Structure 1
Amino acid sequence: MRAARFDAATGELAVRDVPVPQPGPGEVLVRVAACGICQSDLSQLDGHIRPRLPEITPGHEAAGVVAALGAGVRNRQLGDRVVIAAGKECGECPECLLGGGTDRCEDLQVLAFHYDGAWAEYVLTSAVSLVDVPESVPLEHAAVLADAVSTPYGALDTAQLRPAESVGVWGLGGIGTHLVQLARICGASPIIALDPLESARERAIGLGADFALDPGDPDVAARIAEITGGRGLRAAFDCVGRSTTFTQADAALGHRGRLVLVGISPDRLAVGPEIHFVRNRHTVIGHTGYRMRHLEDLVELTDRGRLDVSGSVSAVLPLDEVAEGIRRLREHEGDPIRILLRP
């Protein structure tokens, strides 16, 4: 099969022929229909996320069709349309030994980081890491759900967001754009979207943001205070992960406000004066990934027409053009939400 392989020592990414993996006990082989290119993939390629293997196939946002079953798999059939959850339990931590499974594992093994991902014609995964995709949902849309939508949906859960709570979203790429969309579905009010790109701000308004601001505007703090009636934000989501966005988001929080860190960067973060942080009872929470039920919820919402991710597919490229897809994402060409690969 054709697969994109990343060499951690040389930093080279090349598409080449490799053997089709064979499913072991409890595993399933999926014929990949589409797989997204995510910012965290770029973080691994750039060395910001340490590769766990000397050579690996990237790609963790995938959907496809079941092509082969390993021994003992009873809950899957050949031809099932599925979206792949981007992780599996380690099987060794205390939670796993107690039967906690993927949702409670303390050392979750992540697709495309701990084991081979889906920038390939086929991908191997655990049978319990799959969610059925109904015929009403295109597999390209299901692939987007696998991280670009499920991670921000999980972040809303982490923030324990309630209806009518004010929300700020810093960074309107794939994660931030969907966070705005989901916050609207969950009843947040008002929703303030922040990004230096005017096109990204306009898109956020179209997807449910009440206000869209430029974080580089010197009056942005005053505008947030004005919009929230001087109370500040109840929940802020930093989808960029830089020290500048962290500081700005924390400063915009009101009393008992929660700041959820979703974006990834090598920056060191500091909470500032301790008296400000403690007196205002701010909470900073790190968030990554999602639970199986989050992915199941999103498939349900998409199937019912409550969630529309058709506008999230910015381009679909053949696997051999993976370098072009990476370039477009790096350079923000066309302000993409998600660029997909079709092996």
Structure 2
Amino acid sequence: MLAGRLHVRDRELRMERVPVPEPGPGELLVKVAAAGVCLSDVHLIEGVLTPHLLEGDRVTLGHEVAGTVHAVGEGVTGRRAGERVLLQAGEERGGAIHTRGVDYDGGWAEYALATAHTAVPIPDDLPFEQACFIPDAVSTPWAAITATGGVRPAEAAGVWGVGGLGAHAVQLLRMIGAHPVVAVDPLPAARDRALEFGADLALDPAAPDLAERILAATGGHGLDAAFDFAGAAPVREQAVAVLARGTERARGGRLVLVGLTDGLLTITRGTAFTVGMQDVRGHYGSVFRHVVELVRLVRGGRVEFSRSVSGVLPLAEAPEAVERLRTKQGAPIRLVLSP
């Protein structure tokens, strides 16, 4: 079968023919119908991320996967051939979280292996190209908002970086009743998209009156929660400056760091941050229940992701998809590979 393989030592993505895997005990073989292309995949190829738990020096990329069960291994119950599923983006093994397409082979291939419990059934009316990126592109912002950020209805929220994850953050914040929802992105197309997805205000981070406009939109209160999906130091400084200050009744605003960077985390106005009783919280990924919750919300018609599919490319064109995402050609939310 064809697979997009990362050669870790030289950081080269190669489209190669490899044997179709066979499911072992407790495993499923899934015929891949769609696989998302994530900025994390770009980071892996560029060397920003490294697969620390990978056995060997090659891995099939792709942690966002959906398809049909093709075969079941020994001892598998509750799953059947032909069933439509998406795959969780990882699983716990030996006390450590292993990520699909990073620490073991993922879904940039015609077939993918999965431990049976990581397969989540999806409704028949949910297209594969939308289902595949629910793990990560949607579940990561969902977990950041509901768990790490703890956003409640009527709280003011800001989203810096309206790309693959940030666009969904805007949509999900709107769904749970955050108000106002402020989006910040340097790309005009991304700001327009944020408004389409439900933002009340979309701003250019270079705007000299950005802080004043955010404070005006929140009635002088500031943001209860600010989400950094860009992973950039200037973003964090800018977001901290517009966080709500704490009172005798409640703590101040919280900055949730989702975007990945190895750069320094600095807070210039340290005294104001401390007196304002504000928080910085790190966030990474999601857990099993977040994906299940989102599938339930899709099934119930509360949210849908057709606008998030920026393009569907053949699997053989994975390198082109990576380049389009790396250069932000067309400001994509999610490019999807189809074997």
The TM-score range, normalised by the shorter chain, is over 0.9
For 1:23 and 1:268, the matched residues in 2 are separated by 44
For 2:204 and 2:269, the matched residues in 1 are separated by 25
Deviations 1:106-156 (A, max 9, x none): x21111111111100111111111111111111111012121111110111
Give ranges in structure 1 of 5+ residues lacking alignment: 94-106
For 2:262 and 2:45, the matched residues in 1 are separated by 14
Equivalent in 71, 79, 87 of residue 82 of structure 2: 79
Percent identity between the aligned chains?
48
Residue 313 (structure 1) aligned with residue 303 (structure 2):
no
Aligned residue pairs total 329
Equivalent in 89, 107, 119 of residue 118 of structure 1: 107
Deviations 1:203-225 (A, max 9, x none): 11111100000011111111111
Question: For the Cα contact (< 8 Å) 1:165–1:190, is it kept in 2?
Answer: yes
Residue 58 (structure 1) aligned with residue 54 (structure 2):
no
Residue 242 (structure 1) aligned with residue 232 (structure 2):
yes
Deviations 1:149-181 (A, max 9, x none): 111101112111100000000000010000000
For 1:321 and 1:16, the matched residues in 2 are separated by 12
TM-score by length of 2: 0.95
For 1:71 and 1:260, the matched residues in 2 are separated by 43
For 1:31 and 1:130, the matched residues in 2 are separated by 12
Q: What residue number does 1:2 align with?
A: 2
1:237 deviation in Å?
A: 0.3
SS at match of 2:133: helix
Equivalent in 226, 231, 252 of residue 221 of structure 2: 231
Q: What residue number does 1:143 align with?
A: 132
SS at match of 1:259: strand
Residue 180 (structure 1) aligned with residue 170 (structure 2):
yes
Deviations 1:284-331 (A, max 9, x none): 111111122211121122222221200110100001101111111111
Please provide the CA RMSD for this pair.
1.1
Question: For the Cα contact (< 8 Å) 1:239–1:261, is it kept in 2?
Answer: yes
Question: For the Cα contact (< 8 Å) 1:259–1:283, is it kept in 2?
Answer: yes
1:228 deviation in Å?
A: 1.1
1:278 deviation in Å?
A: 1.6
Deviations 1:43-62 (A, max 9, x none): 11111111333111111111
The residue correspondences of 1:149-298 to structure 2 (distance < 5 A) are 149-157=138-146, 158-255=148-245, 256-298=252-294
Question: For the Cα contact (< 8 Å) 2:87–2:135, is it kept in 1?
Answer: yes
Q: What residue number does 1:21 align with?
A: 21
For 1:260 and 1:159, the matched residues in 2 are separated by 6
SS at match of 2:42: helix
SS at match of 2:40: helix
For 1:14 and 1:274, the matched residues in 2 are separated by 47
SS at match of 1:253: coil
Question: For the Cα contact (< 8 Å) 2:85–2:122, is it kept in 1?
Answer: yes
After superposing on structure 2, the runs of 4+ consecutive aligned residues of structure 1 that deviate more than 3 Å are none
Name whichever of 262-271 and 183-192 sits farther off: 262-271
Deviations 1:50-102 (A, max 9, x none): 13331111111110001111221112111110010001112x33xxxxxxxxx
Name whichever of 326-335 and 235-244 sits farther off: 326-335
Question: For the Cα contact (< 8 Å) 1:195–1:201, is it kept in 2?
Answer: yes
